[in-house]
Amino acid sequence: MTDKIRFSLFLLLLFMIGIIGYWIFRIMNNAVPYVDQWTREPVEQLANTGMYSIFRWITELGSSTFTIPLVIIMGMILWRMYQNWLPALVFSGGTLATHYLNVAIKHLVNRERPSILAAANAEGHSFPSGHAMISMVCYGLLAYFFSKKVKSSKKKLFIECFFALLILLIGVSRYIINVHYLTDVLAGFFIGFLCLIACIYLFQFLMRKQRSV
């Protein structure tokens, strides 16, 4: 990676931190971010439509009732696949840590949801979206660990695109079924992505330490 690309990514990171910081500032001062003002009407018109029903099903792929068994099963699969406990630990620990970080931020920002839907794990605070944030880490790590075991570049691309699409759909589903504002979802994606990168760097660091022992 060239210095120009690194600098551009750094500027993009600062820009996104600034945007999300501004959203948090407005929310904590009881003001609705402009993005949410502009995007409320379309989603309210989707209630009781076919699209709503589809995304109501998709959102379950990011719910705790689905992800908890998934993390346990995939943790065991990763352990067996790598013949090493480290991928399983980083995967399960990273997903769990992201959950607790999400809860902490939600309590700090203390934003009410646009609507409550207990059946879709949509209770409590709203910002940032836990589905978007946790799915980014959970499914992002699965994409990372599975693609590392595949030699074909086409298969790697398929795995990465499949999980990227899944993450996108799960996050967007929270907006479509009207249990999160759009800024909740976008912030969840961004913070989740930072957590994902941190987990990958931690895994690579621990692997180097493990090999040097």
Q: What is the pLDDT of residues 180-204, one digit of tens each?
A: 999 999 999 999 999 999 999 999 9
User: Could you give the CA distance from residue 126 to residue 15 in angstroms, rounded to a whole number?
Assistant: 23
Reported as a single tens digit per residue, the pLDDT across 97-140 is 999 999 999 999 999 988 877 666 667 888 999 999 999 999 99
Terminal C-alpha separation, the chain: 29
The residue-averaged pLDDT of 47-75 equals 92
pLDDT > 90 fraction of the chain, expressed in percent and rounded: 69
**Mean pLDDT: which of 27-41, 49-63, 109-123, 160-174 is highest?**
160-174
Alpha-helical segments (H) within 29-152: 34-44, 50-58, 64-82, 85-109, 130-148
Which range, of 1-10, 95-104, 143-152, averages the lowest pLDDT?
Answer: 1-10
Mean pLDDT on 53-60: 93
Task: Characterise 54 by phi-psi region: left (phi > 0), alpha (psi -120 to 50), beta (else).
Answer: alpha
Higher pLDDT, 6 or 1: 6
Can you tell me the distance from the alpha carbon of 191 to that of 154, in angstroms, rounded to the nearest whole number?
A: 29
Helix then strand count (H, E) for the chain reads: 8, 0
pLDDT (average), residues 14-30: 92
Give the percent of the chain with pLDDT over 70.
96
